[in-house]
Amino acid sequence: MKPLNSLVKIILILPFLSVSLAFSAEEVLVPSTVDKAAQLELFQNRLVDLESREGPYDLSLMEPLTGMIAVLWEQQDYETVAELQSRQLQVMRTALGLQHPDVLPIIRSIVTTQIALGNWDAVSDQLEHIRNLHPIENGQPSLELLHAIDDQIHWLLMRTVLDGRGRRARTFMQSRDLMAELDDFVEDFYGDNNPAIAPWLYKSAINKYHLVQMLNASDGVSGDTIDRVVREDGGFRLEKGSSARFSSRDSFFGPGRYIPVIDRGDLLGVDYLREARNLMDDLRDLAEDQNDLEAQAMANIYYADFQILMEQGRAIRQYRKAQELLTEKGISKARIDAVFSRPMPIPLPKIFTNFADLETFQAQTLLAFDDSEETITHVGSFTAWNKSVRSTALPVSTNPQLNLNLPLQRADISFNLSSRGKPSSHEIIELEPAERSIGRAAGRAVKEMKFRPVVIDGKAKRIRDVQIRYLFIDE
């Protein structure tokens, strides 16, 4: 709130809302010199006065409720804020109807308050409420519905951290079910040969990658995930493309776990990664249909990234093809080499369909780091999703409201990187806090990570003295 002629004008529901709400009722002007308790009392008196004159559900009540919420939020009285927001929602629904889109800002503000309170189930309920405000009409989903489901998926991925290891597999599989639903809606919304579908195809590919990471988790989460996948998809999906074979144990109380038998170093669920890579192939086809050389090049880069994740050696050929397409597009060799001379953790959190956006993303990842020494190549920071999948990046939502600031532990690590994107010979530079267990866990995680290798003039190169800041949530 900004002072204006020694007065404060209250027109916002909460300072963190991206959408401001103003009402036609008289404005409440509170002298900026009045302390918070006096401000709160003025708003309360105003609320009582309006209730007596206009009734308990008139829209004019939104104004003093808004003022009270702003004061209480600054005081971090989130419980009372939540109560007042519920009152606001009741007023809006009564005046406008249960499904009116103007209630959306109120619901989003409730989401933020419930996050502050740590009421994760309440957040899930409100995200479901937001989704229900975007019904399918005439068999056609809306873009708002797609984003609402995407928010639900991201929140479930965050809950795999917030709810602890015991519920991790079940919560992830719920997000997978929503992704399958989202995939169908995306196809209905965009139809065939629409390049705007690219970000959604990439989200689907990342979800498949997350599934494979959960199947190969470093703790008991992998067993829970395997059981659920076998029940839903059948064991043949996990056996396809790998050495995996399954046996099932029956316990005294009923069916037991499915036990995978797999060659050492092999990846369980590689067929799902193949599906993800094929989605990148779909992107290449779309770009070719549009005769868009730059989009073709970017699709080749992502296709190659998934080849690396599948540990297949043909990735370099695709990186080389991408460089050739970028050159044909007219992008200078200096710009191409600048991007490909620096390794990047893969998969990237989002897709870029033009080269300039990839350059910007890469530059932004390095803003906090000194990369002036020619013998050192820094790749920025990497925040791990959770300890079960320690080499997988924490999902990032396009909705900043759902990206939580969680307590992190830090390890600055140097390592060498092979021409196939595999780290080796890591050394700990610095730890925060300075505990050896943190260094051991971070070192194992970095060893398991995959990187886009250095590729210059179409040839992959081994590189020494790569540095990364590895961050992981203090679970």
295: in domain: no
The Cα–Cα gap between 409 and 475 comes to: 10
Q: What is the dihedral of CA 338, 343, 346, 349, to 10 degrees?
A: -50
240-260 residue pLDDT tens: 655 555 555 544 334 455 555
8 A C-beta contact, residue 203 and residue 150: yes
Task: Give the rounded percent of residues in the chain with a pLDDT score beyond 70.
Answer: 87
Backbone φ and ψ for 317, nearest 5 degrees, come out as -60, -40
How does strand 463-473 pair with strand 377-386? parallel
8 A C-beta contact, residue 212 and residue 157: no
The Cα–Cα gap between 157 and 59 comes to: 37
209-213: average pLDDT: 95
Q: Name the residue with tokens 């409100």.
A: 126
Comparing 9 with 382, the larger pLDDT belongs to 382
84: in domain: yes
Q: How confident is the model at residue 319 (pLDDT cuts 50, 70, 90)?
A: very high
- pLDDT at position 368 is 86
310-331: average pLDDT: 94
The Cα–Cα gap between 97 and 267 comes to: 52
Helix (H) or strand (E) holding 136: none
419-440: average pLDDT: 94
394: in domain: no
8 A C-beta contact, residue 385 and residue 392: yes
- pLDDT at position 474 is 84
- pLDDT at position 129 is 96
- pLDDT at position 149 is 98
Percent helix, strand, coil in the chain, to 5, is: 55, 15, 30
323: in domain: no
- pLDDT at position 172 is 95
Max intra-chain CA distance, the chain: 78
Single-letter amino acid code for the residue at 167: R
21: in domain: yes
Q: How confident is the model at residue 346 (pLDDT cuts 50, 70, 90)?
A: very high
- Given a cut of 80, whether residue 221 has pLDDT beyond it is yes
- Given a cut of 60, whether residue 12 has pLDDT beyond it is no
- Given a cut of 60, whether residue 445 has pLDDT beyond it is yes
- pLDDT at position 13 is 38
8 A C-beta contact, residue 471 and residue 409: yes
Task: Tell me how many helices (H) and strands (E) the chain has.
Answer: 16, 14
Mean pLDDT of the chain: 87
User: Which two structure tokens, joined as six digits, stand for 229?
Assistant: 């996948």
Single-letter amino acid code for the residue at 107: I
The Cα–Cα gap between 218 and 37 comes to: 52
161: in domain: no
Comparing 52 with 262, the larger pLDDT belongs to 52
60: in domain: yes
User: Which two structure tokens, joined as six digits, stand for 86?
Assistant: 């519920």
- pLDDT at position 257 is 56
Helix (H) or strand (E) holding 373: none
- pLDDT at position 35 is 85
- pLDDT at position 242 is 56
pTM of the model: 0.88
- pLDDT at position 253 is 38
8 A C-beta contact, residue 205 and residue 186: no
110-164 residue pLDDT tens: 999 999 999 999 999 999 999 999 989 888 999 999 999 999 999 999 999 999 8
Residues 6+ apart with CB under 8 A from 273: 208, 209, 212, 267, 306, 309, 310
Helix (H) or strand (E) holding 202: helix 198-215
- pLDDT at position 36 is 86
**Domain range enclosing 29:** 1-133
Backbone φ and ψ for 256, nearest 5 degrees, come out as -105, -160
The closest of 180, 190, 130, 198 to 399, measured between CA atoms, is 130
The closest of 394, 369, 355, 366 to 157, measured between CA atoms, is 394
16-27: average pLDDT: 38
Residue 7 is part of a domain; what is its CATH number? 1.25.40.10
Task: Give the rounded percent of residues in the chain with a pLDDT score beyond 90.
Answer: 73
For 228-232, 323-327, 362-366, which range has the lowest pLDDT when averaged over its residues? 228-232
Residues 6+ apart with CB under 8 A from 387: 165, 218, 219, 441, 472, 473, 475
Backbone φ and ψ for 300, nearest 5 degrees, come out as -65, -35
Give me the number of domains the chain comprises: 1
The Cα–Cα gap between 404 and 158 comes to: 8
290-314 residue pLDDT tens: 999 999 999 999 999 999 999 877 8
251: in domain: no
The closest of 357, 369, 350, 345 to 446, measured between CA atoms, is 345
95-117: average pLDDT: 94
